[in-house]
Amino acid sequence: MNKRTFYILLTIFTLVFSNVAKAQIIDPVRWSTSIEKISETEFDLIIEATIDAPWHLYSQILDEGGPIATTFTFTESDDYTLVGTPTEEEGHSAPEPAFNNMMVKYFENSALFKQRIKIVNKEISLVNGEVGYMVCNDTQCLAPVYKDLAFSFNTSKATTTTTTTNKATDKAATKGEKKKGLWNIFLLAFGAGFIAIFTPCVFPMIPMTVSFFTKQSKSKAAGIKNAFIYGLSIIVIYVLLGTIVTAIFGASALNELSTNVWFNVIFFFILVLFAFSFLGAFEIMLPNSWANKVDKQADRGGLTGIFFMALALAIVSFSCTGPVAGFVLVEAATKGGIFPIIGMLGFALPIALVFMLFAAFPGWLNSLPKSGGWLNSVKVVLGFLELALAFKFLSNADMVLQLHWLEREVFIAIWIAIFAALSFYLFGKIQLPHDSPLKHISVGRLSLGLLTLAFTIYMIPGLWGAPLNLISAFPPPQHYSESPYGVGYTRSGGSATQLQEIPDGGHLMAPHNILAFNDYEKGLAYAKKVNKPVMLDFTGHACVNCRKMEQNVWVKDKVLTILKNDVVLISLYVDEKLKFEGEAPDSKLRPGKKLRYTGQQWSELQQIRFGTNAQPYYVLMGHDEENLNEAVGYTPDVEEYHLWLEDGITNFKSK
């Protein structure tokens, strides 16, 4: 082989390899089918999905406004009838960041579905069906996909796609995520338990309880032993509470219930009730008869007496610890499984440790601050925090129902009011029912008040569209807003009186005031009319990285100027669920099938012309529909993205 031939082959190999590399058709789900005999006339059609980590597949039952649910359709036939609807496994439920943090049910690693059928014709050999689904990971969602399914009665198993997957790795990843979640709830509960120590119902009990053990025990070692048993009993009581809650509702029922609108509303009212209790409106107390009966049992002495002493502490201090422990249980309930048990373990541990350590080292009691009005101040601060957190649950319910009652501005305004009131309280300008007279404020209280005031001021620009990154997990997203462009501003970027003429098929994209089209043909026609290049933006409602580009890159002046003035933006939503007006077009990827939604045609356009199905995906092209430069995907570097835009525009002008 001579040198020239070698270079020609190398060039061909490079071109082929680069085209293969650009072809990024991601398909993280493999479907397999089988049939299970139930009786002579009834069979279960088994549909199993194998899902690559870290992708997840959605349930068949989802609320409106969320991702596209998994759906199954079966070819109508006189040979069989369907019995009921497809069933599915338990799965997981969690807030979905791509869809306003609405609660959704999804599957990781694998999913199993079953559809029962009743056979009419015993000679049946094949049942055909179709699955439609969407998959997402933590950063992006893929366009909805539709695949054919076949169930053969002639073989034990029929498979639509055969691929191997590393199930051990997938299981390890899932186990790691669950372990991380358990640690998070444990640390949250531990912090809540530590704060609960400094409440009026618990703190004064420390010297009383420790003195009891040191006086009643025959030796120091016996006192330490009894105090250890006492602390262990506290842990057992709270863990038992978490276990009972889990046992009553089941390992996942709390998790399922927490995705429900009405349970979010119930959690809201529970936390508001707890908050008002801490603020001094009333006290939440268990019946006195319970405490009296437990006290009698505590007098029995021995291990039983120590356990009932711990139970008496839990009952007597309930008015302070109940709201805090209740918050932990509510938060743990949104996770399901053993999270309530781990939450109660974390909550009880610091309380138990305090009693055990002070019993072991009673001299430490001298270093404790004296009880006083500051204990009630701790309760009040907790009350304000619980009141603020309560609105997160109400916000979840509002977004799922799409009522738009608690939009972003209203939520932020409520938080501003709550934390401003907390600031005034810490500065001594507000007094609540159980507060002691305040002659002066301590340095610690002043510091906390200044911190709270600074946080309050920080939130104010959020009313005018500021992102508020410090609390981004709590308020509704920016687009779930009565004024997505900022209070007092319209989509034109100015006052309400400034309006911009919009061409046919176009609209102004919030909050950047960029003229955009969602229809390919109309956008291309407008680009020819104004003699500007086209920028295709393959995006999705569920595309997290698309929103990051729009919020962090497009907003920069040098990029925003080009998008507004130098190109015609055509945003094609591949997951758009609008149905076609009139007859739906034929699918180009699945011959003989019709497209169901408008988003499918943009997804097919992206796959056929550009060899990828990932979003975001940006293409600059001329009026001849030829690329002006190489298309790009997620490009968080502003300078790199700006140079890409300038390069394409320069190539357009040079034509």
Q: In this predicted structure, what is the pLDDT of residue 632?
A: 93
Instruction: Out of 140-149, 180-189, 593-602, 629-638, give the one with best mean pLDDT.
Output: 629-638
Q: Which residue has the higher pLDDT, 438 or 149?
A: 149
535: left (phi over 0), alpha (psi -120 to 50) or beta: beta
DSSP 8-state class, residue 141: B
Binned at pLDDT 50, 70 and 90, residue 245 comes out as low
Q: Say yes or no to pLDDT of 169 above 50.
A: no
d(CA 606, CA 537): 10
Task: Report how far residue 162's alpha carbon sits from residue 30's, in angstroms, rounded to the nearest whole number.
Answer: 7
Superfamily of chain region 29-165: Thiol:disulfide interchange protein DsbD, N-terminal domain (2.60.40.1250)
Q: What count of other Cβ atoms lies within 10 Å of the Cβ of residue 288?
A: 10
Distance (Å, rounded) from C-alpha 411 to C-alpha 392?
9
Does a cis peptide bond (omega within 30 degrees of 0) precede residue 511?
yes
Q: Does pLDDT of 496 surpass 50?
A: no
Between 384 and 212, the more confident residue is 384
Kindly list the distances between the CA atom of residue 240 and the CA atoms of 34, 288, 419, in Å, as whole numbers in the listed order: 43, 21, 35
Integer Cα distance of 638 and 117 in angstroms: 56
At 16, the pLDDT band (50, 70, 90 cuts) reads very low
> 416 pLDDT exceeds 70?
yes
Judged on CB neighbours under 10 Å (0-12, 13-18, 19+), 424 is middle
Tell me how far the alpha carbon of residue 50 is from its chain's centroid.
23
Q: Are 264 and 255 in contact (CB under 8 A)?
A: no
Amino acid making up residue 270: I
- When pLDDT is averaged across residues 604-632 and rounded to a whole number, the result is 91
**DSSP-derived pairing of the beta strands 568-573 and 534-539:** parallel
515 touches 564 (CB < 8 A): yes
Higher-pLDDT residue of 220 and 557 is 557
For residues 489 and 411, the answer to whether their CB atoms sit within 8 Å is no
Give the model's confidence band at 580: pLDDT under 50 very low, under 70 low, under 90 confident, else very high: confident
Q: CATH for 506-653, among 1.10.10.60, 3.40.30.10, 1.20.58.100, 3.50.50.60?
A: 3.40.30.10
As a whole number, mean pLDDT of residues 302-317 equals: 73
**78-82, 314-318, 502-506, 578-582, range with greatest mean pLDDT:** 78-82
What is the share, in percent, of the chain residues with pLDDT greater than 90?
26
Looking at residue 53, its pLDDT comes to: 83
Residue 29, amino acid: V
**DSSP code at position 46:** E
Helix, strand, coil distribution of the chain in percent, nearest 5: 50, 15, 35
Extents of the domains making up the chain? 29-165, 173-371, 506-653
Identify the CA nearest to 105 among candidates 59, 63, 137.
Answer: 59
User: CA–CA separation, 47 vs 113, rounded Å?
Assistant: 5
Report residue 466's pLDDT band, with 50, 70 and 90 as the boundaries: confident
- What pLDDT is recorded for position 510? 63
Residue range 66-103, pLDDT digits in tens: 788 899 999 888 889 999 899 998 887 777 766 666 77
What's the mean pLDDT when you consider all of the chain? Answer: 78
Q: Judge contact between 308 and 297, C-beta under 8 A.
A: yes
- Residue 417 pLDDT greater than 90, yes or no: yes
Mean pLDDT on 519-534: 94
Helix axes 408-426, 373-401, angle to 10 degrees: 180
Average pLDDT on 512-539 reads: 92
Tokens encoding 8:
């020609």
Burial track 241-255 (b if 16+ CB lie within 10 A, e otherwise): bbeebbeebeebebb
**Picking from 393-397, 453-457, 520-524, 592-596, which range would have the lowest pLDDT averaged per residue?**
393-397
- Residues 210-231: pLDDT tens digits? 666 666 666 667 777 777 888 8
> Rg for the chain (alpha carbons), in Å?
31
Give the residue, 535 or 439, on which the prediction is more confident: 535
Q: Could you give the count of Cα atoms lying within 13 Å of 611 in the half-sphere of its Cβ?
A: 10
Give me the pLDDT at residue 558, please: 92
Q: Which residues are within 8 A (CB) of 345 and not within 5 positions of it... i.e. 6 or more apart?
A: 186, 189, 235, 238, 239, 242
From the list 56, 125, 39, 48, the residue with the least C-alpha distance to 88 is 48
Whether the pLDDT of residue 526 is over 70: the answer is: yes
Q: Who's near 363: CB < 8 A, 6+ residues apart?
A: none
Instruction: Give the pLDDT band of residue 483 (cuts 50, 70, 90).
Output: low
Q: pLDDT tier at 22 (50, 70, 90 boundaries)? A: very low
- Rounded-to-integer distance, Cα 624 and Cα 655, Å: 11
**Contact in structure between 450 and 426 (CB atoms under 8 Å):** no
Mean pLDDT confidence for 417-429: 94
More confident residue, 24 or 338: 338
Is the pLDDT reported for residue 12 higher than 60? no
